[in-house]
Amino acid sequence: MPTVEFVPDGKKVDVDNNARLQDVCENNGIGLPFACKDGQCATCLITVEEGMQNLSPKTDAEKETLPAAGATEKQRLACQCSLKGNVKLNY
């Protein structure tokens, strides 16, 4: 069972394999904001401190939006990610 650690919230949450990160945030009172929920606005930009390999591959929307937002290689859009293993996230 994957564990997601949210650094700003000081929370670690156990989740089902392939859980959507957006659902995990919304169901656990995580402070990360969402707006479009469609990979377009970069409101949900996160920095993956550990476990990048445990997130689903980048979506086509992320491939367009992340460079436009000036994101680094360690950043993803939370509304586009599913979980395959442990990750540690900042935002």
Residues engaged in binding ligand FES (CB under 6 A):
34-37, 39-44, 77, 79
Alpha-helical runs (H) found in 2-90: 21-27, 60-68
Q: How far is the CB of 27 from ligand FES (least distance, A)?
A: 16
Angle at 3 between CA 53 and CA 84, to 5 degrees: 35
Q: Which is nearer to ligand FES, 19 or 77 (CB)?
A: 77
User: Is the Cβ–Cβ distance between 56 and 81 less than 8 Å?
Assistant: yes
Q: Which is nearer to ligand FES, 42 or 83 (CB)?
A: 42
Q: How far is the CB of 39 from ligand FES (least distance, A)?
A: 5
Q: Which is nearer to ligand FES, 14 or 40 (CB)?
A: 40
DSSP character at residue 78? G
Q: How far is the CB of 65 from ligand FES (least distance, A)?
A: 6
Number of alpha helices (DSSP H) and beta strands (DSSP E) in the chain: 2, 5
